[in-house]
Amino acid sequence: MSWETITLEREALFAEVWAEAAQGVAARYGISGPALAKICRKLGVPVPPRGYWAQKAAGQTVRQPALPPRRPAEATSYQLTVRRDDYGPDGFTLDARVAIAKARATAIPVADVLESAHPLIKESSALLRKALLKTRTEVLPSKRCLDIVASRAQMPRALRIADAALKALEANGLEVEATEPKPAPPGYLSSYERSRYPPSKTGIHVGDAFFEFTLEEELDTVRPEEPKPSRDAPYEKRWDWVKRHGSPGYERVPSGRLALGLTGGGWLGAARSSWRDGKRKRLEEQLNDFVATVLELGERHRLWRLEREAAERRYAEAQRRAEEEERLRTLEAARVKDLDERLRAWSDAAGIEMLVTEFERVHGSAAAPGWVAWARKRAETLRARAIELTSSEGPAR
């Protein structure tokens, strides 16, 4: 942890608060929004009124006032002392917190007409317009394509939203990819066998993480206008009705509502994984929150990876210590065994010498000379074994 003093110049601060939402400016300096507003008041810097950024994002003409002349009581600069942690209270780096706050505060415009489309949009649009609601069954298993599912009426809007989202993600330094599928061979495949042939997936690379996302039109379950044929109707007519309507009495129809789904972030504690058209907000107005969530997930994944690596290091160190302790225990047991054998050999040698001496005292030195010589030689052998340096765990080590 370190402390840093920053000088906020009046003219520079005015340019910042009118170029970016106050939330992003405050996060960059590591202070709160009210603290930034207080500094602006002290320097006499006007701030955008409520609703300014929403009007600007909607394409409306907004007026930016000029910086008024400084009053005598107002300063020209402000000294701000901030704490520069490597990680914030939530573990995120300061740069990550700034990027997330800036992304969440910056509205993402969606064009009314698709022009200068993203390369992935250009590559996928023809396939998507042809497949429509059958994208996942007809296109993704065999061709590289964005994971977008929509009806003919909603496909143009879905492509415009996807184009804006892809460009915004890349503007924040992220890489978007539609993966190449692995086509399955013809014929029946079990669910396990089919899992070895993944379809094309659309995802975002954030560091070493890959988060998949989809854009699809939600379906409503309704009763069909066409009544179900009676039991007396021909079999072909009744079967044709069942094939077209699925469950008896109901059918699934496009709702006109688009939803953006993000997978792979639930286990990281993501607060949100889907964005959809609602009564108050359309999907176009929520793209900034989607981008900010992706950035947040990337930071969470980075912290998880660091923690996992630290845990692996701790485990490896514990394993090393356990192995070292086991080695020392084995060495100690071997040395104790070696020492016991040496003591036993030394004791046996001394015992033999005492026995031979007593034997000669009782029977005379001329009695059993062969046995006496052999016994003395045996004692020398045991004594040499007790003090030898060739043992693998003895004095030689």
pLDDT tens, residue by residue, 324-341: 999 999 999 999 999 999
Over range 9-34, report the average pLDDT: 84
How sure is the predictor about 80, in pLDDT bands with cuts at 50, 70 and 90? confident
Q: How confident is the model at residue 266 (pLDDT cuts 50, 70, 90)?
A: confident
The pLDDT confidence band at residue 176, using thresholds 50, 70 and 90, is very high
Look up the pTM and report it: 0.63
Largest CA distance in the chain: 131
Residue 119, token pair as written in the block: 């390369």
Report the pLDDT value the prediction gives residue 86, as an integer from 0 to 100.
44
Q: Which amino acid is at 131?
A: A
**Residues listed for the chain:** 397
Collapsing DSSP to helix, strand or coil, 298 comes out as helix
Q: What whole-number distance in Å separates Cα of residue 147 and Cα of residue 139?
A: 9
pLDDT, mean of residues 264-279: 80
The percent of residues in the chain predicted with pLDDT above 70, rounded, is 91
Listed residue (106, 89, 108) closest to 32, CA to CA: 89
- From residue 94, alpha-carbon distances to 87, 101, 371 in Å are 6, 11, 91
Tell me what pLDDT residue 253 has: 82
Instruction: Give the pLDDT band of residue 391 (cuts 50, 70, 90).
Output: low
For 85-120, what is each residue's pLDDT tens digit?
Answer: 444 445 777 778 778 878 887 889 999 998 889 999
Average pLDDT over every residue of 236-253: 73
Going along the chain, which residue ranges are E strands?
Answer: 2-9, 77-84, 148-149, 175-178, 202-206, 209-222, 251-263, 274-276
- 22 contacts 37 by C-beta, under 8 angstroms: yes
> Which whole number is the average pLDDT over 4-33?
84
In this predicted structure, what is the pLDDT of residue 221?
A: 80
pLDDT at 158: 93
Give SS3 for 219.
strand
pLDDT in tens, 190-231: 777 777 888 889 999 988 889 999 999 998 887 766 677 788
Helix 94-105 × helix 287-363 angle, to 10°: 160
Q: Which stretch of 3-7, 273-277, 375-379 has the lowest confidence by average pLDDT?
A: 3-7
With b for 16 or more beta-carbon neighbours within 10 A and e for fewer, the 340-360 pattern comes to eebeebeebbeebbeebeebe
Q: CA–CA separation, 12 vs 8, rounded Å?
A: 7
More confident residue, 309 or 189: 309
Contact status, residue 137 vs residue 86, Cβ threshold 8 Å: no
> How far is Cα 84 from Cα 19, in angstroms, rounded to an integer?
24
Which tens digits make up the pLDDT trace of 31-60?
888 888 999 999 999 999 988 888 887 778
pLDDT at 356: 92
Confidence of residue 249 (pLDDT cuts 50, 70, 90): low
- Residue keyed to tokens 């010498």: 353
Give the pLDDT score at 55: 85
Instruction: State residue 395's pLDDT score.
Output: 64
- Quick one: pLDDT at residue 248? 57
